[in-house]
Amino acid sequence: MSDENPHSMSGSSQKSWLEKLGQIFAGEPKNKEDLQEIFDVATERSVIDSETKSMIEGVLDISEMRIRDIMIPRSQMVTIDLAQPIDEYLPIIIESAHSRFPVVSEDKDHIEGILLAKDLLKYGFNPEPEFALNELLREAFIVPESKRVDAMLKEFKARRSHMAIVVDEFGGVSGLVTIEDILELIVGDIEDEHDADDPEDIRKLSERLYSVAALTPIDEFNSYFSTVFESEDADTIGGIVLHQFGRMPERGELVEIEGFQFKVINADMRRILQLQVTLPKMDAALATEN
């Protein structure tokens, strides 16, 4: 009668795999390709799943990247001017759906601080609030373009910060970076209640003015506005707008397509996120029915 049992055999098999893995590491992987081979083998043998492998690869990727590689460029920063009255910058906050905003004076090289949208809530229900924007600002966290992304993630965690202003070697503002930008490199896109799969992709702002998520399918846009937009190169209304520009547009840029005016309200370095659509006068009545 054998003394072996299923548990010991299973343990032996697992030990054998661990020994092989240990032997690979004992050879001291000389480069990223060697590590990649280890992860491929581990995934094939179900030691780790594909999502875990993807995250590990993301961590390796950010170890070689600098903030300049992932930052939102200066031209696409959504900022608030310290001198603006609240009725001017409140629509910016609502349309962009961000939670944090750099507040500037003169221009984007003069960052006065960071405004958290939630800090405005206590004034929303007061008919005559005593309001001073500069008193609400949080200190801006400044980092150089050359800072390593993995070091940036550690510093975000240590400081409990979510946004940093990026400056070039001369001290000029070149962009901003958020903790979400870094985490998405590791775990993939992080979608929230304001992303394009929001059930309310199209919102009416006035008789002829609408807020439209860029990832709204063309068929949905056509159905809502009784239009006949189509494209072999795009599935979304944002794709049609991007094709019309022929390049990645900046926030605030306008383009007209078949009488409809599209304004880029929010965009990052990779894609258009939110559009403001102005209808032709003759089509306003049709859209009102929706």
For the chain, the structural domain boundaries read 10-48, 68-187, 202-288
Whether this model's pTM surpasses 0.85: no
User: Are residues 141 and 113 in contact, defined by beta-carbon separation less than 8 angstroms?
Assistant: no
Long-range Cβ contacts of 106-110 (<8 Å, 24+ apart): 108/74, 108/77, 108/79, 108/173, 109/172, 109/173
CA distance 174 to 143: 10
How many Cβ atoms are within 10 Å of 210's Cβ, its own excluded?
A: 21
Q: Given this model, what pLDDT does residue 16 score?
A: 54
CA distance 136 to 280: 40
Tell me if domain 68-187 and domain 202-288 are identical in fold: no
Higher-pLDDT residue of 55, 11 = 55
Find the farthest-apart pair of alpha carbons in the chain and give their distance in angstroms, rounded. 91
User: Are residues 242 and 61 in contact, defined by beta-carbon separation less than 8 angstroms?
Assistant: no
Both tokens of 35, joined, read 């590590």
**DSSP H or E stretch at residue 28:** none
Average pLDDT, whole number, for the chain? Answer: 79
The pairing of strands 80-81 and 100-105 is parallel
Least confident span in 107-111, 165-169, 193-197, 218-222: 193-197
CATH assignment, 68-187: 3.10.580.10
Q: Given this model, what pLDDT does residue 173 score?
A: 93
Q: Model confidence at 249, in pLDDT bands (50, 70, 90)?
A: confident
CATH assignment, 202-288: 3.30.465.10
The string of pLDDT tens digits covering residues 71-100 is: 888 888 889 999 888 888 888 888 777 889
What DSSP state is assigned to residue 110? E
User: Are residues 133 and 120 in contact, defined by beta-carbon separation less than 8 angstroms?
Assistant: no
Q: Nearest-CA neighbor of 231 among 241, 245, 216?
A: 241
Q: Model confidence at 269, in pLDDT bands (50, 70, 90)?
A: low
Least confident span in 16-30, 91-105, 202-216: 16-30
CA distance 5 to 99: 58
Q: State yes or no: pLDDT of 162 exceeds 80.
A: yes
**DSSP H or E stretch at residue 245:** helix 237-245
Output the DSSP codes for 135-199.
GTPBPPPEEETTSBHHHHHHHHHHHT-SEEEEE-TTS-EEEEEEHHHHHHHHH-----TTSTT-S
